[in-house]
Amino acid sequence: MIDQKKIAEGFRLILEGLGENPGRPGLQETPRRVAELYAEILGGIHENPTEILRPIKGEDFDEMVALAGIPFHSMCEHHFLPFFGKGHIAYIPKEGRMTGLSSLARLLDIFARRPQIQERLTAEVADGIMEGLSPQGVMVVLEAEHLCLSMRGIKKPGVPVVTSAVRGIFRKNAKTRQEFLSLISMKNHG
């Protein structure tokens, strides 16, 4: 489990390292608040994401199922600054292996609520769907702004990082990939 006491102690040390006085009125409760924040936004560490992907009994569908524009946020593990954006997920179920639509968004949320890099997050979502549902194929596209690129380093706000993970039929069939990319484009420009 997440040890909020250790996080608060650690953040108090960060404040001291910055030359701040953690005992001053504006900062007295900050270590506790930061600990609660981290417990909330990084709580996916202790969740099993594939448990939420349960096939719906009696449903047989073998065409593309896509969710476009799922908002998400995560924490870059390199600088512990947020990155946030939209996720697009498509899969083609095998007979009897369709899941509820909200499960796909919840899967992204669980993986995103861990210290992450966007490339791994994209692959984990795709692999989680493959493992949990054994579909014909999966494609995941994430578009995100990284505050570590916006606030430090190259300081280029508003530049999205785009990653994709392609599995199964989406990898083998260019028409299937293009159909999903067209759906994303319609969502973003329609």
Of 135, 128, 1, 142, the C-alpha closest to 64 is 135
pLDDT at 78: 96
Answer whether residue 123 shows pLDDT above 90. yes
Is 76 among the annotated ligand-binding positions?
Answer: yes
pLDDT at 190: 56
pLDDT at 60: 82
pLDDT digits (tens, 9 = 90+) for 93-120: 998 899 999 999 999 999 999 999 999 9
Share of the chain above pLDDT 90, in %: 85
**Which domains does the chain show, CATH number per domain?**
4-41 (1.10.286.10), 49-189 (3.30.1130.10)
Q: What is the mean pLDDT of residues 141-152?
A: 95
Rounded alpha-carbon distances, angstroms, from residue 72 to 38, 83, 175: 16, 9, 28
CB contact at 8 A, 65 and 136: no
pTM of the model: 0.94
Return the active site residues. 76-79, 118, 146, 148
Is 79 among the annotated ligand-binding positions?
Answer: yes
Answer whether residue 83 shows pLDDT above 90. yes
pLDDT at 57: 84
Is 189 among the annotated ligand-binding positions?
Answer: no
